[in-house]
Amino acid sequence: MTSSGKVLIVPGVLALRPEYASLEDPVADLRKAVDEARTWLGDGRLVTANGSATRTEKAPGHFDERAAGFDDALGRALRTGDLAALRSLDVGLAEELWADVEELVAVAGELAEVSAVEVDYDDDPYGVQYWVVRWECR
């Protein structure tokens, strides 16, 4: 298990790439949060993950009533650094909800303790739940 360092959790969304920005950037707040958090990270561990993509009818995976509960539990674990909850995520359900959590579950298995948490972004534009979360681990 990793005993110390920084972990940055960001969504792996193509819209964050500079070539996808336009005059009316649909994810400007998300892009800003990721850019600022990457500066904080320095050399440490970057993890790509996101919640469900089934929160609304217009979401990429369309609406699934299980999405809100799944995302609530995932968000709570991210905000509190609850590694046990992350390790026990239902990866099969995550896949059904179009949530990308495999890397996050793996990293949670490597970490010993999260000592500080900062949430820079927590929103669901276009029916997809995204977070930008900084963890300090010891």
What pLDDT is attached to residue 135? 97
Q: What are phi and psi of 31, to 5 degrees?
A: -60, -45
**What domains sit in the chain, N to C, each tagged with a CATH number?**
5-137 (3.40.830.10)
Residue 34 gets which letter from DSSP? H
pLDDT tens column, 68-106? 999 999 999 999 999 999 999 999 999 999 999 999 999
Burial class (CB in 10 A: 0-12, 13-18, 19+), 71: buried
Pairing of strands 45-48, 114-123: unpaired
| pTM, two decimal places | 0.86
pLDDT tens column, 18-72? 666 666 777 888 888 988 898 899 877 999 999 999 999 999 999 999 999 999 9
What pLDDT is attached to residue 42? 80
